[in-house]
Chain A
Amino acid sequence: MRSRTAARMLTVLCLFMGLGLVGVHAQEAGSGAASPEPPGPTVNAADTCWVLASTALVLFMTPGLALFYGGLVRAKNVLSTMMHSFAAMMVVSLVWVLWGYSLAFGEDLFGGVVGGFDHLFLKDVSWDTPRSDLGVTIPHLLFCMYQAMFAIITPALISGAFAERMKFSSFAVFLVLWSTLVYSPIAHWVWHPSGWLAGLGVQDFAGGTVVHISSGIAALAAALVLGKRKGYPHTPMIPHSMPWCALGAGILWFGWFGFNGGSALASNGLAVVAFSNTHIAAAAAALAWFSAEWILRGKGTMLGLATGAVAGLVGITPAAGFVTPISAIFVGGITSLVCYFFVSKKESFGYDDSLDAFGVHGVGGTTGAILTGVFAYQPLGLALFLNGEISKGTLIMRQVLGAGVTILYAFVASLILLKVVDALMGLRVSPDAEDSGLDVDQHGEGGYTF
C-alpha cells in the first residue's frame, strides 16, 4: 500500500520534471537575444506596466467568481463550486502555456481556423520584445500571460450551469478538452490578426464573443446534457450566503477594469475610455436590474444588484473601446434588462441552469455583441468601421454574424465534448452524493465546521 503511494508520487514528480526539461529547451531555442533584431515596435515601459497590472486584475476575477458562485449554492456544495473556478486557475494556466496559447495565437493555419504549433511550450515567446504582428508595445510573454487569464475565467464561467451535481474528475477532463478545442479556436478566429472572423470585420474589444458567448452557450449545452439537480424545481435551493455573492460581484467589478481597460494593450486614451465605460455600464446595469425588481416585485435585492452589475459588465465587454461613456449607460442598462427578463422566465424553459451562466453570460454576451454595432462611435471605432468604408447597418450585421457563428460552434462542440466525457466516465455524482453534498463526497472537506 505504502509503496504504491510512493510510486504514484514518483510518477507525478517525473511528469513535472519531464515537462520542465522540454520547456527549458523550447524556451532556449526561442530566446530573442540570439536572433537578429526584427523591425517593429519596441517595448514601452508605461504600456508594459499597465498590462502587468491588468493581468493581475483579470486573474483576481476568477476567485471573485468562485465567491459569487459559491455563495449562490447550498452550504454543502460551497467548496466543490469554488473548486471549479480554482481548478481552472490550476489546470488552464498550464494548458495555456503548454499548447493553448499556440493554438490560439500561433501562426495561422487553414485560412484563419486555428493557430499552429510554433509557440508550443512558449517557444519563441520573447520576454523582452513585442510580437511583431499585433502592433503592440508590450513583451510577447506578457501578452501571452494576459491572454492566459481570459482562458482561465472562460471555462470557470460555464461551471454555473452544472454546479451542485458534476463529478470533479469529469469536470477536470472537460476543462482541458474545452479549453483546447473550443476556447483556443474561437480566440484565434476573433483575436488573431489572421483569424477568419477578424478577417470578416467582426470586432470584440475584450471578449464579449470569445469569453461570454462561448462560455454562456457551453453552459446551456451543459445544463441540457447534465439534467436538473435532484429535486429541482420543487425543493427550494436557496443561496446559502448573500454576503459571499456581494463580495464576489464586487471583486468581479474591480477585476473587470483589467479585463476591459487592459484590452487596449497600452497605457493610453483608449484604455481610459474602456476603463470608464466598464464602470459606467456596471453602475447603469445594476440600477436597471434593481429598479426592475423594485417596480415589478416591490423590493430591490442585493442579488439583483449584483447580478445586474455582472450582466452590464458582460454587455460592455465587446463594446468597451468602441462606444462613448454616455452610450455605455445604454449598453449596460439594456443588457441588464434583457438578462433580467430572460432569467426571470428560465423555469418555464425547463432546464436547470443553476446559477444562470447562460442567462447572464450567453444572453448578455450576445446582446452586448449586437449593441456594440448599434452604439459604435466612429472616431473611437475606426477599426470597426474599416476606416469609414462600411455603414452602421453592415457593422451590425457583422456583429450578428460573429455572435451567430460562435453560438453555433460553441453549442455543437460543447455538446459533443460533454457527451464524450459522459460516455467515458459519467458526468454526474451519485444521487446519494447529491443529497449529502459534493464537498465531502468529492473532496473530503466541509466548507463550514461547527
Chain B
Amino acid sequence: MKLIAAVIRPNKIEELKAALSDIGIQGLTVTEVRGHGRQKGHKEIFRGKEYAVDLLPKVRIELALPDSKVDSVVSAIEKASRTGEVGDGKIFIMNLEDCIRIRTGERGDEAL
C-alpha cells in the first residue's frame, strides 16, 4: 500500500478530480495549503508599504492506494496538473503500513 500526497495548483483541482474519477478512483482528501518551491511569490501593497507574499496558495491531495494502482494514478496526476511552468507542484509517494476502515474494522487492502 502506498500513500500519495500531491501539492498542485489550486485551479487544477477540478481537472484532477475528473481525471481520477475516469480511472475509477473514488476517495481522496483535499486540503487548501500555502507553500512554495522554486516559484517566486508576489508583492502586495497596503497603504504604500510593500509586503512580500512568498507562500502561495496550493492544494494538497492525499490518496491511499494498493500498489497496483500507483502508476496509473501518478501519471493521471502528472497529466492533469502539468502546465510546464514553475509552480506545478510535486507528488510524494510513501509506504503505507496499514489502513483501517473505522465502520467495519477491515484492515489492509480491503479497507482501501
A446 x B53 contact (CB < 8 A): yes
A-chain residues with CB within 8 Å of residue B43 when the two chains form the complex? 444
Give chain A residues whose Cβ lies under 8 Å from the Cβ of B45.
Answer: 444-445
B109 on interface, CB distance cutoff 8 Å: no
Looking at chain A's contact residues, the main secondary structure is loop
Which single residue of chain A is at the shortest CB-CB distance from B50? A444
A196-204, A229-237, A352-360: which one contacts chain B?
A229-237
Per the 8 Å Cβ criterion, residues 13-52 of B in contact with A are 14, 34, 42-46
Q: Is B104 located at the chain interface by the 8 A CB criterion?
A: no
Q: A446-B53, A450-B34 are in contact. Are A231 and B14 (CB under 8 A)?
A: yes
Nearest-neighbor residue (CB-CB) of B13 within chain A: A235
Partner pick for A236 among B14, B44, B46, CB 8 A cutoff: B14
Contact A440 B14 (CB under 8 A): no
Contacts of A440 in B (CB 8 A): 42, 44, 53
Nearest to A437 among chain B residues (CB) is: B57
A28 at the interface (CB under 8 A from B): no
A435 at the interface (CB under 8 A from B): yes
Q: Specify which chain A residues have a CB less than 8 angstroms from the CB of B14 in the assembled complex.
A: 231, 234-236
Are B11 and A445 closer than 8 Å at their CB atoms?
A: no
B45 CB → nearest A CB, Å: 4
Minimum CB–CB distance for B64 against chain A, Å? 26
Hey, which chain A residues are within 8 Å of B11, CB to CB?
231, 235, 435
- Report the separation of the CA atoms of residues A435 and B11 in the bound assembly, to the nearest whole angstrom: 6
Shortest Cβ distance from residue B65 to the other chain A in the assembled complex, whole angstroms: 26
Q: Is the CB of A445 within 8 A of B44?
A: yes
In the docked arrangement, what's the CA distance between A450 and B14, Å? 24
Shortest Cβ gap from A444 to chain B (Å): 4
Residues 414-450 of chain A, each 1 if its beta carbon lies under 8 Å from chain B, else 0: 0000000000000000000001000010001110011
8 Å CB contacts to A: which residues of B43-95?
43-46, 53
* A444 and B44 contact, CB distance less than 8 A: yes
Report yes or no: A445 in contact with B42, Cβ–Cβ below 8 A: no
- In the bound complex, how far is the Cα of B97 from the Cα of A281, in angstroms? 64
Residues on A with C-beta less than 8 A from B42 are 440, 444
Whole-angstrom distance from the CB of B42 to the nearest CB of chain A?
6
- What is the minimal beta-carbon distance from B112 to any residue of chain A, in angstroms? 28
| Contact digits for A220-249, partner B, Cβ 8 Å, 1 yes 0 no | 000000000001001110000000000000
- Residues in B with CB closer than 8 Å to A446 are 44, 53
**Distance of B88 from chain A, by nearest CB (Å):** 12
Nearest CB in chain B to that of A445: its residue: B44
How far apart are the CA atoms of A234 and B14 in the complex, in Å? 9
| Cβ distance B21 to chain A, nearest Cβ, rounded Å | 14
**Binary flags per residue of B1-15, CB closer than 8 Å to A gives 1, else 0:** 000000001010010
- How distant is A86 from chain B, measured CB to nearest CB, in Å? 16
Give the residue among B11, B43, B46, B53 with the most A Cβ atoms within 10 A: B11
Q: List 9 A-B contacts (CB under 8 A).
A: A231-B14, A234-B14, A235-B14, A236-B14, A444-B43, A444-B45, A445-B44, A446-B44, A446-B53
Closest 8 CB pairs of A and B: A444-B45, A435-B11, A235-B14, A444-B44, A445-B44, A440-B42, A446-B44, A444-B43
